[in-house]
Amino acid sequence: MAKQTLVPIEEYLRTSYDPDVDYVDGALEERNLGETEHGGLQMMLIVWFHTRMAQRNVIAFPETRVQVAPSRFRVPDICVMRGWPKSGVITEPPLLCIEILSPEDRLGRVEARIRDFLAFGVPAVWVIDPMQRRAWAYTEAGVEEAAGLVLKSEEIVLDLREIFSEIDKLRS
């Protein structure tokens, strides 16, 4: 097994990675970003939140660093905040983190990310599989598959069928 070089937090924070990476106890962890299914769904969700920003007082940030513990930074596909963060790195629990699965994602790595978000105080983490068109909502109480592709978190209710329908229209 190859020895991993540890990176100081200060170096991680002042370095731009393309694409950005998670920082877990000194180790850099690459994120799987997928292809058009992943990127298209991410874009559509950002637009969905943007059009509802004023009425729900929420802002959705794509791929923004979230410090979930003193030596852990995760970069969710989307995090939803109430109001603008106080700094460039999000240090308060978002209302919601969304992970969009890519074909290369492995259950263990996704579950580790979910555990970090929940332990940090994020009330809900949504995991969406755009290829299978399935979704799950994770909370402290456990995990629940989205019935009829409807995800709920606090006052946010998202019907993924609408999003996937819009994606299908764009494809044709």
Q: Where are the domains of the chain?
A: 32-171
* Residue 168's pLDDT band (cuts 50, 70, 90): very high
- pLDDT, one tens digit per residue, over 101-155 is 988 888 889 999 999 999 999 999 999 999 999 999 999 999 999 988 888 887 7
Task: Please tell me the pTM assigned to this model.
Answer: 0.92
Coil, helix or strand at residue 67 = strand
DSSP, collapsed to helix, strand or coil, labels residue 85 as: coil
Give 3-state DSSP helix, strand, coil % of the chain, rounded to 5.
Answer: 30, 30, 40
Q: Which residue has the tokens 């979910």?
A: 114
Which CATH architecture is the domain 32-171 placed in? Alpha-Beta Complex (3.90)
Give me the residues paired with residue 97 across strands. Answer: 79, 125
R_g (Cα) of the chain, nearest Å? 16
34 close to 100: Cβ distance less than 8 angstroms: yes
What three-state secondary structure class fits 28? strand
Contact between residue 110 and residue 99 where contact means Cβ atoms under 8 Å apart = yes
- 20-38 pLDDT tens trace: 999 999 999 988 777 888 9
